[in-house]
Structure 1
Amino acid sequence: MKTSILALGFATVATGFACAAAAETPVLTVLTYDSFVAEWGPGPAVEKAFEADCACDLRFVAAGDGAALLARVQMEGAASDADVVLGLDTSLTAAARATGLFAPHGQTWANTLPVPFEDADFVPYDWGWFAMVYDKTKVTDVPTSFEALAASDLKIVIQDPRSSTPGLGLLLWVKAAYGDRAKDIWAGLADNIVTVTPGWSEAYGLFTEGEADMVLSYTTSPAYHLIAESDDTKAAAVFDEGHYMQVEVAGKLAATDQPALADRFLAFIGSDAFQSTIATTNWMYPAVTPAGGLPEGFDRFRPAKSLLMSADEAAAARDGALAEWQAALAQ
């Protein structure tokens, strides 16, 4: 009987120590988009590398596509369980800053973006050029502009700009390239659009399943098929008017209860351990070129001209561009 009581006592003490140890392990919650945390995305490798460095528990919470992240943060406000938001881009940072929910990052590491980029509240983690991706075995008359695409019979899949950062990037791309003529471009493109999906994953899936001739994605998307699948049939149409850039960023929420750990994660983003995972998991250009360089195939469809609005310009253009897009698709 005494043996049983002693065993029970030891077990209770051991359980208590285990619970205390678990309680002492700091948790960092990062709100991000679905594809980042997919088994083939950067999330698993980033989680493993950061946890080895921080002796903490890094937890990713997925919330749809990039634009959905901001909507969730706005809805939850200071009550959000997240400490860091990873997956906004420069089309949304002005609106994100205006919420007052983000804190200055205080990071000093330098990025290697092809355009100057500085932001007191958000650090870049990757970037890329938007592009219309197609299958070379099916599309032989490749358009070299949005005007040529609108004049063709090609069917395209795009993402909803209200929930998707690529979808919003497309609106800004057309606006930056055509200005006041953007509404005419959308009127011409309306009958090319097969469907509009909530996010990138759904759109790209429809394309690979053969439901459309082209899909809004990135100039680096064909590199995925080349490197991961040994498939050289995918290509990106290079447009004469230039290609809009997406710069994806991360920011610390001001209400975080782990400010030091959040800062440590933002510093980790600039490290080779994080940046070396980006090219062949997120299939974007790393914000800091890794020590090992970039994989073969990443520069096969490099445009001659880059287009990018500042965060304030993008915020000012958003509502008008969205209205033009909606009006064209409603006809």
Structure 2
Amino acid sequence: MFCNKFLLSFLFFVFCVATSANANIHEKPTLTIYTYSSFISEWGPGEAIKQGFEAQCDCQLDIVTLGDGVSILNRLRLEGNKTNADVILGLDNNLLGQAKQANIMAPHQITKPNNLNTDWWDDDFMPYDFGYFAFIYNKEKIDNPPHSLHELVDNKANWKIIYQDPRTSTPGLGLLFWVKNIYGKDAISAWQKIAKNTVTVTKGWSEAYGMFLKGEADFVLSYSTSPVAHITNDQDYRYNAAIFDEGHYRQVEIAGITKYSQQPQLARRFLQYLLTPEVQRQFAEKNVMYPIINTPLPTAFDQINKVSKALEFDANKVVDNQKAWIREWQSAISQ
């Protein structure tokens, strides 16, 4: 009797070990992606991209949201070689130099597409969409919007403005460079004028845009393509981007593979997937940005104001001057 019980227990143990080993054989690999919050929101492209890639990769995507692009970079710096991230998605050209200095990325090894929709490409960070920072207003409330940044800054109409903190937000950082690009050594004076009519400076884009939609400001810093979302989702044509004669600062959103990734080949497949026509269409429809490869745009893009002049600083100039420009901004708005 004892022998029979021992034999049954032994066989049960062998069965459990075999079952566990078999389960491990078929366990799907996990690809961890650090990105910004709106990417995986109910209106963002993240969920459709996640489902589409998982359907073809026999893997699982673990998407970790970290606010804005600046927050993503700060998190990676903090974690260093202990990071769980395989892919980061949501940095931009304005953070490129800092990200390279942090020495946390591996070359993506993806060939530059022939049908690229812009002149921007990098060996470490792959672009996936782009757009232009702009101030959005409600046409039913603003009859005569500003036609230049100088007009908005001088603000004789006493318009109320909301924008984002350049220390925590990529749009806020874009505005910092936009003002510096146009005003140069007179940027302090420009910031002092802006401060007089600023309702608040928010940590991120979502908070700022939400306050604007509640009527708490006349203008909010966003993107020239933001009205597309209102047209597409709500058939709402009230919102416009004020297009400025001096030009608009360009943002190129980028993705990359961390040098500490446990799944580098899978990460590279994911980046290549971002360049497929169906995903590029998702970025146009749900990220409301211009696709990085030539892709037919939703008709709503034909109904918005277009930017005719792009502004941008060289990445090295940004690295050399960003801290000083942020101190300049802090000093100006505190006076």
TM-score normalised per structure 2: 0.91
Tell me the equivalent position of 2:110.
Answer: 107
Contact 2:73–2:99, Cα closer than 8 Å, also in 1? yes
Among candidates 79, 85, 104, match of residue 88 of structure 2: 85
| Structural mapping, 1:249-264, within 5 Å | 249-264=254-269
Tell me the equivalent position of 1:221.
Answer: 226
Tell me the equivalent position of 1:49.
Answer: 52
Q: How far has the Cα of 1:310 moved from its partner?
A: 2.0
Tell me the equivalent position of 1:274.
Answer: 279
Query: Does 2:324 align with 1:329?
Result: no
Task: Return 183-192 or 89-98, whichever deviates more.
Answer: 183-192
Tell me the equivalent position of 1:190.
Answer: 195
Among candidates 140, 144, 149, match of residue 152 of structure 2: 149
Tell me the equivalent position of 1:171.
Answer: 176
Q: Which amino acid aligns with 2:69?
A: G
Query: Does 2:67 align with 1:64?
Result: yes
Q: How far has the Cα of 1:314 moved from its partner?
A: 2.1
Contact 1:30–1:58, Cα closer than 8 Å, also in 2? yes
1:111 & 1:131 partners in 2: Cα distance?
29
Q: How far has the Cα of 1:327 moved from its partner?
A: 1.4
Contact 1:172–1:317, Cα closer than 8 Å, also in 2? no
Contact 1:83–1:255, Cα closer than 8 Å, also in 2? yes
Q: How far has the Cα of 1:15 moved from its partner?
A: 6.0
Tell me the equivalent position of 1:305.
Answer: 309
1:312 & 1:133 partners in 2: Cα distance?
30
**Matched residue count:** 324
Task: Return 267-276 or 8-17, whichever deviates more.
Answer: 8-17
Structure 2: give runs of 5+ residues left out of the alignment: none
Tell me the equivalent position of 1:126.
Answer: 129
Give CA deviations for 1:175-233 in whole Å, capped at 9, x if unaligned: 11222222221111111111011111111000001111110000100111111110000
Q: What is the percent sequence identity of the aligned residues?
A: 46
Q: How far has the Cα of 1:297 moved from its partner?
A: 2.8
Q: Which amino acid aligns with 1:43?
A: G
1:324 & 1:114 partners in 2: Cα distance?
35
Q: How far has the Cα of 1:16 moved from its partner?
A: 3.1
Task: Return 233-242 or 114-123, whichever deviates more.
Answer: 114-123
Contact 1:279–1:285, Cα closer than 8 Å, also in 2? yes
Q: How far has the Cα of 1:141 moved from its partner?
A: 2.4
2:142 & 2:34 partners in 1: Cα distance?
38
Aligned-residue CA RMSD in angstroms? Answer: 2.1
1:75 & 1:95 partners in 2: Cα distance?
14
2:322 & 2:115 partners in 1: Cα distance?
27
Contact 1:113–1:127, Cα closer than 8 Å, also in 2? no
Query: Does 2:133 align with 1:135?
Result: no
